[in-house]
Chains A and B, each alone.
Chain A
């Protein structure tokens, strides 16, 4: 199957700083990428849908000014957590869509963010 990478795999930052997480589709072009957030013992929650070359669509309750998403190319989407606070600590997962079928959504390994 297709491969999606995320960088970094884990990051620790101080409260008030911004953190950028990269999501790359390594062997396919992804016109659409999704960003999820996973809390401990909770399900993955969709944060936003990112389409290449256009603004991301955020889910209800997700602050778009807090979680900046940029999908500048067909192989790269970034999530920037601005002015991070401890409550933003979580596991962030991205996925890329390689085609037009449900089975073509491929997930990255996730990024663990810890805000001190």
Chain B
């Protein structure tokens, strides 16, 4: 069964500093990988996804993530963090039930809480 590990429960950075959130996955085939952000009172929002192709994917809000098969990792990065980025971030792997890129089940990591200091 697939699994996702986010080693860092809580990360604190200063506004304007760079950010990297770690994610490691376990999956038997080529994974569908996702990063979501959850702000208080709001639903999970998709930041970016990786299905295939270019291993560096760009997402919304200036985030990017790099898929590294050799390391089973899909780390999320942002070159300069804004105070509004403070939230909880979840990495997830998708189980393609229907073949192709149709939706399926998501397995989430434990989440990383990001605090941004002014």
Would A103 and B108 count as touching, CB distance under 8 A?
no
Knowing A102-B32, A103-B49, A108-B43 touch, does A43 contact B90 (C-beta < 8 A)?
Answer: yes
Residues of chain A touching chain B, judged by Cβ–Cβ distance below 8 Å, are: 1, 4, 9, 32, 34, 36, 41-46, 49, 93, 95, 97, 100-110
Q: Which of B4, B34, B43, B46 contacts A110 (CB 8 A)?
A: B43
Residues of chain B touching chain A, judged by Cβ–Cβ distance below 8 Å, are: 4, 9, 32, 34, 36, 41-46, 49, 51, 90, 94, 101-111
Would B103 and A105 count as touching, CB distance under 8 A?
yes
CB closest chain-A residue, reference B113: A41
Would B43 and A93 count as touching, CB distance under 8 A?
yes
Would A101 and B106 count as touching, CB distance under 8 A?
no
Would B43 and A102 count as touching, CB distance under 8 A?
no
Would B111 and A101 count as touching, CB distance under 8 A?
no
Within the complex, what minimum Cβ distance (angstroms) separates B99 from chain A?
A: 11
Would A102 and B44 count as touching, CB distance under 8 A?
no
Would A41 and B9 count as touching, CB distance under 8 A?
yes
* 29 pairs, CB–CB < 8 Å, chain A vs chain B: A1-B45, A36-B108, A41-B110, A43-B90, A43-B108, A43-B110, A46-B105, A46-B106, A46-B107, A49-B105, A93-B44, A95-B43, A97-B103, A101-B101, A101-B103, A102-B32, A102-B51, A102-B94, A102-B101, A102-B102, A103-B46, A103-B49, A105-B46, A105-B106, A106-B43, A107-B44, A108-B43, A109-B41, A110-B43
